[in-house]
Amino acid sequence: MSRPTRGRLARYGFAEGEGGVRAADLLGADGLGLWQADEQEPTDRSAADLLAALSRAADPDLALRQLHRMVETERRTAADDAIGSELLAALAADPGLRRRLVAVLGASAALGDHLVANPGQWTVLRTAPDGLAPTADGRLDLALAGRLTTATAPVAVLRHAYRLALLRIAAADLTGGRGLEQVMAALSALADATLAAAYEIAVGELPAGTPRPRLAVVAMGKCGGDELNYVSDVDVIFVAATDEDLPAATTVAARLIHVCGLVAWPVDAALRPEGNRGPLVRTLASHLAYYQRWARTWEFQALLKARPAAGDLALAGEWIDALAPLVWRASERPEAVSDVRAMRRRIIDNIPPKELDREIKRGPGGLRDIEFAVQLLQLVHGRGDESLRVPGTVPALRALVAGGYVGRADGEALLRGYRFLRGVEHRLQLQALRRTHTVPTEPAALRWLATALGYAAIPGRSAVESFRADWVAHATEVRRLHAKLLYRPLLESVARVPADGLRLTPEAARHRLEVLGFADPAGALRHLQALTGGVSRTAAIQRTLLPVLLSEFADAPEPDRGLLNYRQVSDKLGSTPWYLRLLRDSGPVARRLARVLSSSRYAADLLAREPEALRLLAEENELTPRPREVLCDGFAAAAARHAEPVEATRAVRALRRRELVRIACADVLSRAGGLAPRPERGVPAGPLADVTRVGTGLSYVTDATLSAALRAVRAAQPELPGLRFAVIGVGRLGGYESNYLSDADVLFVYDPPAGTAESTASAAAHAIAEELRRLLGAPAPDPALGVDADLRPEGRQGPLVRSLAAYAQYYARWSRVWEAQALLRARFVCGDADLGTEFEQMVDPVRYPADGLTREQVVEIRRIKARVENERLPRGADPATHTKLGRGGLADVEWAVQLLQLRHAGAYPQLRGTRTLDALAAARDAKLVDPADAVAMTAGWTLAAQVRNALMLVRGRAGDQLPRHGVELAGVVRLLGADDPGEFLDDYLRTARRSRAAMQRVLDAGV
């Protein structure tokens, strides 16, 4: 086969090399006749459709080989080629059949072998004449099975009926026709039907004249919970009505077990009283006596999933009802909770070490973790809440969430983990219809599994890597939540034990911390010892507080950082009388502090510099951003208490730091829920998590900082009588859109006093501006505020300060369209208010041109934007997720809005504002932009701004790139109140795409 042919077939997913040669042979004229080697393309449209279906299979080569074997088998068993051509013709005519059959052949070698060995059985996957897919509800069709087999024995008929039903279930599962819960229910229903049929076969074989016994078959385990997988023992308990029924009932039960083993799977009755040592069948009275006197906790735990399955269903119901009071009193026994935990530990201890990290059922973070946590909560809380008395894991977990016993986020995380792990288990078992719960290590097997689960390669990441990342994420989350739900009392004990006690069992304590998600359990233990060691009152209060704090740290993407930050704050304030008392006695403070320290490096760093600022966490009104007037007055008063500008500015910067703590803590806590500060006068209404509220609050803090520092500078400078000086905010400061690490973008303007030489006035104004910038940006314990004047005329090449007349002359003669664009967000910040007003009035004709823009100016704006995108996006940045300069991000929306303002604000005064979203809303109301586009751009700008702020809070440093994976993405997602990082990332990309398209339409409309 030529290399081009291999390449073309490789596009369909067929293996290259020897595998590619094999695919070409099977597809060619001597095989299925679907591929023209000379033309290097399918023979016709139906062949192309079939090839496309094969390419979507979990293993295209396996699907092709099995299909070829089916066709060859049918040809050999026929007098001519009619049967083979009938199968291919059916695949061409029935898209549903094609999709279902190919999916089965590519995902299950065992079912493929079955179809090869049983020609004609593929017809059960045909689409019905009414267009419906074949039923996949687990029902047996014994009549159909009887027609498809030459065997007349009932066991053979039942075996064929079982395989046909399993085939339909698998086809629906693999093609999305059934969700996981529906598949599990269908498999459990199929088990019930098989048990019932085997029961009737066994009863029919009793010697003539033997009375039919009253025998109930009770489903247990996964079958009882309606969550059976493809290959599993079916757990049952047999119950006879009376002693007289026992002999015949035992014969029937033994034969039922034998028949089911021949047909489908082993029947396991080991959950019966005394296990395999006890009698196979007991009467209802005997069962009741055993459970009343001898049963252990795990046996009651197993009864949670009991339900009638076959035989005498009424008797099974009586048995369940009789035992129910014992089940729901089991947790009252002193050893009950410890028994459940001990059983879970024994299960893990019995896993071979080489399989521990690959076990998705029994291993840490596996299905058993979820099941044991759910079942313990059922046993404890089901005594008084009958809504929890349901057999299945998923229904029980939903009931626990609905009843408030498990948090919604935790419940959803467990559900996601359960669905993921069961999905992996199903695909593993379906491949060879073999019982397995272990993820393979072979590269080829891993690639097959990832593909079967729907993973595909993306740039920079293979399908296997994506699968592994999700597996690790789900297992970690399940492990953490399992510990949170099952081991919280143990964690409380670890936190309360003095240091000497902790050192007695370091391995056990380290394991529990690791389960919670601590990356460095040994380091975490050292922190706990330092905080709780000794017999002092401080250590005693810490031992009371730490259980609450540890649970909060465990919910964060980096629990170790939260504990470390808490240790640092405690080291600084541990001896301060009010510190621990505040945490102990003010209910919300401890949890708020833990949430802040574990969620935000930015806030944690600020608190480490000023731990006393955590007093702000005590009252919600302390976490409300202050109005501009209040801030300006307070900052000015602090500066006025110092004669030297350096000391005055230091005091101002300390106040700024405190306000940054206030806003950052409120932002983190309001995003996390449970905190909704009441707005004060002058502060925009709405939750603090609203990014416009955060931007406004931060801009007010910057205004107050500049205002107070300017007063201190002018008070110390040699005064030039009559010199007027003002600071004009531009950029994000001018638009009230500052973020946590924003510089202050400004223009400096002055007006010389009458009769003063221009050079003298210019020098004095320049000295004021330079000193202001120096003092606010100088190294100090408090965060610096960069004062950036690069948006001034001529940029960095132009003078730092200009007079009002010089600005007017420049804008009248030399300004370009981008400078008018920059002025759209210009507003007076501080200094001489009259001069600020005059400046705004002077630039209004420039930024709001009466005649709008010429076509050439619009083209220039588009050209500049394109250049900015190409040149300013950092090297290696992902344009899809860069919040500032990326597609659909902040810059896209701002340029679109500013273009609308430049074109129309001269005629529409309502567009004359510095806030991006306000101007966009005004343009929408004036019908200057499509409402749908306005919605898309508003959503894009808002989400990008929220993510940008969250990135800064999480990282503690500037950054505009939203990562696609890792702890920083998890931190951002958690901070923004979402649950699933993957879903959040998808939502961001979708929102950004819509925003980008809307922006493009606005820019295109101006040309």
CA 548 to CA 554: how far, in whole Å?
A: 10
Contact call for residues 553 and 594 (beta carbons, < 8 A): yes
Whole-structure pTM value: 0.55
Q: Residue 878's CB: how many other CB atoms inside 10 A?
A: 16
With tokens 């409402």, the residue in question is 931
Q: Is the pLDDT of residue 890 over 90?
A: yes
CA angle 920, 926, 930 (to 5 degrees): 65
User: What average pLDDT score do residues 446-464 get?
Assistant: 90
Interval 129-158: pLDDT, tens: 877 788 888 888 887 777 766 556 899 999
Tokens, residue 123: 């017809």
CA angle 821, 826, 827 (to 5 degrees): 160
Interval 1-48: pLDDT, tens: 444 555 677 778 887 655 555 788 888 877 888 888 777 788 889 888
User: What average pLDDT score do residues 711-735 get?
Assistant: 90
Query: CA–CA distance from 17 to each of 55, 63, 155, 463 (Å)?
Result: 17, 18, 45, 21
Percentage of the chain beyond pLDDT 90 is: 53
The pLDDT value recorded for residue 543 is 65
CA 899 to CA 995: how far, in whole Å?
A: 15
Higher pLDDT, 388 or 281: 281
Q: Residue 581's CB: how many other CB atoms inside 10 A?
A: 11
Reported as type and span, the H/E element at residue 282 is: strand 281-283
Q: Report the interhelical angle of 246-263 vs 154-174 (nearest 10°).
A: 50
Buried b (16+ CB within 10 A) or exposed e, 76-101: eeeeeeebbeebbebbbeeebbbbbb
User: What average pLDDT score do residues 398-426 get?
Assistant: 86
The pLDDT value recorded for residue 676 is 42
Interval 192-220: pLDDT, tens: 999 999 999 999 999 988 899 999 999 99
Contact call for residues 467 and 450 (beta carbons, < 8 A): yes
User: What average pLDDT score do residues 744-751 get?
Assistant: 96
Mean pLDDT (the chain, rounded) = 86
User: What average pLDDT score do residues 219-229 get?
Assistant: 95
Tokens, residue 841: 């009035």
CA 636 to CA 704: how far, in whole Å?
A: 8
CA angle 513, 519, 523 (to 5 degrees): 70
User: What average pLDDT score do residues 756-770 get?
Assistant: 92
The pLDDT value recorded for residue 1002 is 93
The pLDDT value recorded for residue 975 is 87
CA 103 to CA 117: how far, in whole Å?
A: 18
Model confidence band, residue 249 (pLDDT cutoffs 50, 70, 90): very high
The pLDDT value recorded for residue 831 is 96
Tokens, residue 136: 């996949």
The closest of 829, 831, 833 to 768, measured between CA atoms, is 831
Which of 498-507, 600-609, 660-669: highest mean pLDDT?
660-669
Reported as type and span, the H/E element at residue 491 is: helix 488-496
The pLDDT value recorded for residue 14 is 83
CA 656 to CA 815: how far, in whole Å?
A: 35
CA dihedral 903, 909, 910, 915 (to 10 degrees): 70
Q: Is the pLDDT of residue 425 over 60?
A: yes
Interval 681-696: pLDDT, tens: 343 333 345 889 999 9
CA 340 to CA 358: how far, in whole Å?
A: 23
Which residue type sits at 106? Answer: G
Higher pLDDT, 260 or 956: 260
Percentage of the chain beyond pLDDT 70 is: 90
- 267: helix, strand or coil: strand
The pLDDT value recorded for residue 762 is 93
The pLDDT value recorded for residue 491 is 30
- 217: helix, strand or coil: strand
Residue 435 — φ and ψ, nearest 5°?
A: -70, 115
Q: Of the ranges 87-96, 485-494, 751-760, which one carries the lowest mean pLDDT score?
A: 485-494
Which residue type sits at 919? Answer: A
Interval 898-913: pLDDT, tens: 999 999 999 999 999 9
Phi-psi map region of 207: left, alpha, beta (phi>0 left; psi -120 to 50 alpha): beta
The closest of 836, 842, 818 to 894, measured between CA atoms, is 818
Higher pLDDT, 585 or 43: 43
Q: Residue 870's CB: how many other CB atoms inside 10 A?
A: 8
Q: Is the pLDDT of residue 493 over 60?
A: no
Query: CA–CA distance from 538 to each of 575, 584, 613 (Å)?
Result: 8, 11, 20
Which residue type sits at 871? Answer: E
CA 230 to CA 435: how far, in whole Å?
A: 8
User: What average pLDDT score do residues 422-446 get?
Assistant: 92
Determine the number of helices (DSSP H) and then strands (DSSP E) in the chain: 44, 12
Which residue type sits at 1007? Answer: V
Q: Is the pLDDT of residue 510 over 90?
A: no
Q: Is the pLDDT of residue 377 over 90?
A: no
Interval 52-106: pLDDT, tens: 999 889 899 999 999 999 998 877 776 554 444 688 889 999 999 999 999 999 9
